[in-house]
């Protein structure tokens, strides 16, 4: 029997440590591994073999997916990889792990490496050169989120990251920042969920995340007339008026962000009728937008299904501020859209709500439109010419009536 060099090397170095010894005729794993992330950015054996799955690792993978609020949209296989590797082969996603790595590593290394690679899959990454840096940081953010929910401290994570400070050219500093963002998000989600009242003083200890400023370009814009704000004394009263009008039309999920001297209220992504900008009245209006806290943002979500017909979506952003603002140069990026829906607060902190409403304040609504072509997975932001102006969106959604316009 002629043993090719890579496999012989593998036999010499890996097998003595592996509990599942491959027998002659061990099943060859026939997948294309060109699109991948190896946790340590190392090499890969030319031939991979499928070993028996390990119950303990199975349980950890399921636990990580649950902590991250993600589905296990991938198959996991014990094989002869260096540690953990995410692979995209056509439509199929694989999580490859080495049992030897799991058994010789400590808990945070195992959870961290698995979570990073699972993070690639839940974010629907393609491992392309152009997005490599972004994808690595998104995977690290997911890792930070999961490790936080698992109960590791930020100090533990810092020590762990030093062991493997960089991969795919991402610096230690960038990785630490991404992991920390994920970590803080998990903490904030826990804190907010645990607060029963809007005016809980603990909410004040948290920093409201900032809305991109100036707001990203390509929106339809309308400043609400002064009469809308007549008789209102505080930003909290403005927020309440908007909230009542939105609730009446079914916009029950909202996110709050800070803007200079004010706040931004972002509504849930909604599908509308392209014929007249009215809200869809069937179940497709909200399209089961995942309520769970995960990292799949608007664009990834829109990519995840095939539309039987063209679909039109909108996000409404109400901005209350006393500062003039123009349009930003940037269009809505996936990361921003993700942040809008999953990183904002679900309540307006009292410190902002108590801000007096002076005559310099105004409320502007920005409407961002997205179009998903028929049976095409590529959503497009409507830019530069929106289908409808912002006033039409407000009127046809029924929000204008609720605001007394």
The site for Zn ion (CB under 5 A) is made up of 37, 136, 139
Please name which of 216, 170, 147, 198 lies closest in space to residue 41, comparing C-alpha atoms.
Answer: 170
Q: How far is the CB of 189 from Zn ion (least distance, A)?
A: 23
Q: 292-331 burial, b if ≥16 CB within 10 A, otherwise e? A: ebbbbbbbbbbbeeebeeebbbbbbbbbbbeeeeeebeee
Our CB check for Zn ion shows the closer of 26 and 40 to be 40
Is 51 buried (19+), middle (13-18) or exposed (0-12) by CB count in 10 A? buried
Please name which of 248, 250, 247, 229 lies closest in space to residue 238, comparing C-alpha atoms.
Answer: 229
DSSP 287: T
Our CB check for Zn ion shows the closer of 37 and 224 to be 37
218 — alpha (psi -120 to 50), left (phi > 0) or beta?
left
Q: How far is the CB of 216 from Zn ion (least distance, A)?
A: 27
Q: How far is the CB of 119 from Zn ion (least distance, A)?
A: 8
Our CB check for Zn ion shows the closer of 79 and 381 to be 79
Q: How far is the CB of 81 from Zn ion (least distance, A)?
A: 13
> What's the token pair of residue 340?
């809008």
Start-to-end C-alpha separation, the chain: 83
Residues 6+ apart with CB under 8 A from 398: 248, 249, 279
Beta bridge partners of 362: 321
φ and ψ at 271, to 5 degrees?
Answer: -90, 135
Q: How far is the CB of 385 from Zn ion (least distance, A)?
A: 38
Helix (H, G, I), strand (E, B) or coil at 317: strand
Q: How far is the CB of 108 from Zn ion (least distance, A)?
A: 17
Q: How far is the CB of 191 from Zn ion (least distance, A)?
A: 29
Is 52 buried (19+), middle (13-18) or exposed (0-12) by CB count in 10 A? exposed
Handedness of CA 383, 386, 389, 393 (dihedral sign): negative
Our CB check for Zn ion shows the closer of 13 and 43 to be 43
321 contacts 357 by C-beta, under 8 angstroms: no
Our CB check for Zn ion shows the closer of 37 and 332 to be 37
Our CB check for Zn ion shows the closer of 95 and 316 to be 95
Q: How far is the CB of 130 from Zn ion (least distance, A)?
A: 15
Our CB check for Zn ion shows the closer of 178 and 348 to be 178
Q: How far is the CB of 283 from Zn ion (least distance, A)?
A: 36
d(CA 135, CA 142) in angstroms, rounded, equals 11
Our CB check for Zn ion shows the closer of 169 and 404 to be 169
Our CB check for Zn ion shows the closer of 86 and 203 to be 86
Please name which of 380, 378, 289 lies closest in space to residue 342, comparing C-alpha atoms.
Answer: 289
Our CB check for Zn ion shows the closer of 109 and 136 to be 136
Q: How many CB atoms lie within 10 A of CB 279?
A: 19
Q: How many residues does the chain have?
A: 405
Q: How far is the CB of 136 from Zn ion (least distance, A)?
A: 5
Residue at token pair 């709050």: 256
């Amino acid at each position: 029997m002629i043993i090719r060099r890579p496999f012989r090397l593998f036999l010499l170095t890996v097998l003595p440590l592996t509990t599942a010894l491959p027998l002659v005729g061990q099943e060859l794993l026939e997948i294309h591994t060109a699109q991948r992330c190896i946790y340590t950015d190392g090499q890969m054996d030319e031939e991979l073999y499928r070993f028996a799955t390990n119950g303990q690792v199975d349980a950890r993978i399921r636990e990580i997916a649950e902590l991250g609020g993600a589905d296990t949209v991938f198959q996991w296989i014990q094989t002869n990889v260096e540690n953990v590797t995410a692979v995209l082969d056509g439509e199929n996603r694989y999580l490859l792990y080495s049992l030897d790595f799991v058994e010789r590593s400590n808990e945070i290394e195992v959870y961290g490496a698995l979570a990073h690679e699972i993070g690639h899959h839940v974010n629907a990454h393609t491992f392309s050169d152009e997005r490599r840096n972004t994808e690595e940081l998104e995977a690290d953010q997911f890792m930070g989120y999961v490790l936080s929910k698992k109960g590791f401290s930020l100090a533990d994570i810092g020590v762990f990251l030093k062991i493997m400070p960089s991969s795919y050219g991402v610096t230690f500093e960038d990785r630490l920042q991404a992991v920390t963002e994920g970590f803080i998000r998990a903490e904030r989600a826990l804190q907010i969920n645990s607060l029963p009242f809007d005016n809980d003083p603990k909410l004040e200890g948290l920093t409201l995340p900032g809305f991109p400023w100036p707001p990203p370009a390509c929106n339809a814009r309308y400043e609400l007339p002064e009469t809308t704000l007549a008789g209102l004394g505080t930003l909290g009263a403005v927020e309440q008026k908007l909230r009542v009008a939105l609730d009446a039309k079914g916009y029950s999920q909202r996110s709050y962000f800070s803007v200079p001297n004010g706040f931004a209220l972002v509504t849930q992504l909604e599908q509308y009728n392209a014929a007249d900008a009215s809200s869809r009245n069937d179940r497709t209006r909200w399209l089961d937008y995942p309520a769970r806290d995960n990292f799949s943002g608007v664009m990834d979500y829109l990519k995840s299904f095939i539309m039987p017909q063209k679909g039109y979506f909108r996000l409404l952003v109400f901005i209350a501020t006393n500062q003039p603002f123009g349009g930003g140069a940037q269009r809505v990026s996936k990361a921003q859209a993700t942040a809008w829906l999953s990183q904002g607060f679900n309540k307006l902190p009292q410190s902002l709500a108590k801000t007096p409403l002076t005559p310099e304040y105004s409320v502007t609504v920005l409407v961002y439109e997205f179009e998903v072509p028929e049976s095409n997975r590529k959503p497009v932001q409507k830019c530069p010419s929106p289908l409808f102006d912002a006033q039409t969106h407000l009127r046809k959604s029924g929000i204008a009536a609720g605001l007394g316009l």
